A and B are shown apart, each in its own frame.
Chain A
């Protein structure tokens, strides 16, 4: 059977798996952004904490994703089989690009701009919210974009711990040596990544100041 007929025949299942996959990514990204951006803001003025936070986030990135899922299963509360564990692992993966870009965006601002902001009598929080953050937004968004694309890919592996999503087709396809099954998972995942990349890239260009 050609992959295309297979995909057409199972479009209902594939669509619902895509939706599952999408939900997994959105939840993980929302949590990663809620942790990563404030943490990035917090470490700007704190060098020791910055080294520690960026170090830990980098370590998570170096752990092979399948191993990370495996490590999390026995951990109480956040572990176990299913979506919750998968989301925790995806958040840990997405954290580094968001954290790093938030930090880089906030610190990579023209020193003359920050000097005049301080000299004009802006308070530290006014400088953060009215100058640094708006100017860093495009860079932060670039980090979110990278993290989203990574997460869409890594989320396929989450099927290994029973989190569902498009990975289910891929794992089944590998087990049954069926290209059609693998493609039924891989093509929608690739499309999701491309669409996310395009939309977030568009937003990023709109926010870029100079």
Chain B
């Protein structure tokens, strides 16, 4: 059993950060939400319907997904990548094109410069921006992100984290964000859920989180290179 005894409610509009070490079950929880994994016991409800009852394709089209290295299609241009879900949903061409433009502007890429490039012609940070644009293209109410900024250099990562946290506040999506980086969790989360060996060991707002008296919390706070007080 990778995760057990998990009971979690994610209210609409929340940015929930799943924090934990590698192998703590963060990604498993994420994949339970969009039905890439189905719970052998218990139930996962998305919009009041169990993931086992959902048509998996319909469920996933309503949930944006961003992963490390973005997972862009290497044979699609940036525009085609962003247009993926609208195309699958048979949007007409003008509406799709307009949406692609809007999304690229949203993530800070000029469509005139980037729309026709292939992913291999982008930097890591730009690829991740396209990944976010693709996930948001069909305006899904829910966004799942699995260490999306994990493979970036520290400077680019900080830049994307800042921009993304501003974007999140503006869009009001329900976001579940997986990371092992406490700094990132503190910056983005409205609530941090700490996982250890497949169980939830803490659930708190960023402010409360740093004051929690738990060994795993302390293990994470001591990983910060500056005093934790700086974030409170």
Contact = CB atoms under 8 A, between A and B. Distances in A.
Contact of A120 (B69, B85, B118, B120): B85
A120 B74 contact: no
A121 B60 contact: yes
Given A121-B57, A121-B58, A210-B120, A113 B73 contact: yes
B60 A120 contact: yes
Contact of B36 (A112, A119, A131, A135): A119
A113 B72 contact: yes
A210 B61 contact: no
Contacts, number: 64
A134 B73 CA distance: 10
A117 interface: yes
A122 B87 CA distance: 11
B185 interface: no
Dominant SS among interface residues on chain A: helix
B58 A113 contact: no
A112 B70 contact: yes
Contacts of B73: 113, 117, 131, 135
B34 A119 contact: yes
A208 B59 CA distance: 34
Most chain A C-beta atoms within 10 Å of own C-beta, residue among B58, B60, B69, B73: B73
B60 A119 contact: yes
B129 interface: no
A2 interface: no
A209 interface: yes
A117 to B, nearest CB: 7
Interface string B169-208: 0000000000000000000000000000000000000000
A117 B135 CA distance: 11
Nearest to A134: B75
A118 interface: yes
A143 B88 CA distance: 31
Interface in B51-67: 56-63, 65, 67
15 contacts: A112-B69, A113-B73, A116-B72, A119-B34, A119-B65, A119-B144, A120-B65, A120-B88, A120-B135, A121-B59, A121-B62, A134-B75, A135-B74, A209-B118, A209-B120
A129 to B, nearest CB: 12
Contacts of B135: 120
Interface in A127-155: 131, 134-135
A113 B71 contact: yes
A110 interface: yes
B60 A210 contact: no
Nearest to A114: B71
A130 B65 CA distance: 19
A9 interface: no
Given A121-B58, A209-B75, A115 B67 contact: yes
Given A113-B72, A135-B74, A122 B65 contact: no
B99 interface: no
A116 B67 CA distance: 7
Given A116-B65, A210-B120, A121 B71 contact: no
A24 B57 CA distance: 46
A121 B75 contact: no
A51 interface: no
A158 B208 CA distance: 81
Nearest to A207: B75
